[in-house]
Amino acid sequence: MKKSLCVLLALAVAAGAFAGGKQEAAPAAKVQELKWYQPEPDGHPWTDVSRQIAEEIGKNSGGSLKISIYASGVLGTQAEAIDMLRTGSLALETSGPSILASFYEQVQVFSLPYAFDNAAQGYAYFESPAGQRIFNDILKKSGVRTLDVWYFGDRNLTINNVAVRTPGDLAGKAVRCMDTPIAKTVIASLGGSPIPLNFAELYMALQTGVVVGQENPIPTIIAQKFYEVQNTLVLTRHSVHMGTVHASEIIWQGLTQGQRDVITAALAKYRPVIEERINRNTVEGLTFLKQKGMTVLEPDLTPFRENAKKMIAATFGNNKVWMDEIKALEDFKAAYKK
């Protein structure tokens, strides 16, 4: 009797499911699209690897997250993208820590000359209590969460017709920089005269002699074809350039903890992949630049490091907030063990 009753109940359920001769479809799982701003074009490790990350997030989130990559800064400037993060119209942005300076000026400590000895040290400082304090403060003020740091490459000097082996060799020479106190300090630490100039105008300025030098990672030097208007590369390695991956806090708080974990796990997994590709591009790029006829100099970096300390003290020595941040970095480096 019990068996017959179970059969009848099963048939009733089946009849309800196929009412009208059609099976009622289960509601489709909601898919959330997250837009990711990339400043670099396809072919750059940041953009290429971000596409792999996007695919993995989609898979590991069970299809609940779809990451759409917008390369080459097509959504606007990096500063405009920060505004979009704040309003929730953009989910993710790859940029650099200095883009957040309007919320916490001392975040630019990451961009000081010779701030880090290598990428691993930069990662560790980001994850340290001192680094997290900076980005947590920015989060409270801006609504922009910083999820990770990515290596962009070591920045080096290019110049025309000057054999730069010490800061003194660059004295009085006009070298392009961004229009920020940190960028000017970087050029001064190399010994040059900082000339603020829009990046889009740099090639022509080098070609016409408005400035005689500039500084960037080797892959950027190649991408912008600066080897056409510069004949000397000086491996000053004055900045281990660390980029940052930012998220909209509005959108982040709307994700489940599982979705957040999927995103952070993918970023952690692919961080070393990005570094490996940047390093490979740098080695191959150095060979390419030599083939293009550039003279490559490898000076003793001690005088540059010493001059950087002097320039930092001259620029920030009377600013306690800045000096406290610089001391926090120095204390970390003194205790750092790879």
CB neighbour burial string for 50-82, b if at least 16 within 10 angstroms, e if fewer? beebbebbbebbeebbebebbbebebeebeebb
What distance in Å separates the CA atoms of residue 136 and residue 139, rounded to the nearest whole number? 5
Confidence tier at 38 by pLDDT (50, 70, 90) = very high
pLDDT-wise least confident of 79-83, 198-202, 319-323, 325-329: 198-202
Give the pLDDT mean for 168-181: 94
66 vs 179, higher pLDDT:
66
Which helix (H) or strand (E) element contains residue 145?
Answer: strand 144-159
pLDDT at 175 over 90: yes
pLDDT, residue 337, reads 78
Mean pLDDT of the chain, nearest integer: 91
pLDDT, residue 5, reads 38
Architecture of domain 30-335: 3-Layer(aba) Sandwich (3.40)
Strands 295-297 and 232-248: parallel
Contact 100, 139 (CB under 8 A): no
Give the pLDDT mean for 108-125: 97
pLDDT at 300 over 60: yes
pLDDT at 48 over 90: yes
pLDDT at 26 over 50: no
| pLDDT over 90 percentage in the chain | 87
What distance in Å separates the CA atoms of residue 70 and residue 291, rounded to the nearest whole number? 33
**pTM surpassing 0.75?**
yes
pLDDT at 86 over 90: yes
For residue 267, give both structure tokens.
């970023």
Which helix (H) or strand (E) element contains residue 260?
Answer: helix 257-291
pLDDT at 11 over 70: no
Contact 126, 69 (CB under 8 A): no
pLDDT, residue 104, reads 96
Alpha helices (H) in 158-256, listed in sequence order? 181-190, 202-208, 218-223, 249-253
pLDDT at 25 over 60: no
Q: What is the pLDDT of residues 306-338, one digit of tens each?
A: 999 999 999 999 999 999 999 999 999 999 976
pLDDT at 12 over 90: no
pLDDT, residue 29, reads 60
pLDDT, residue 180, reads 85
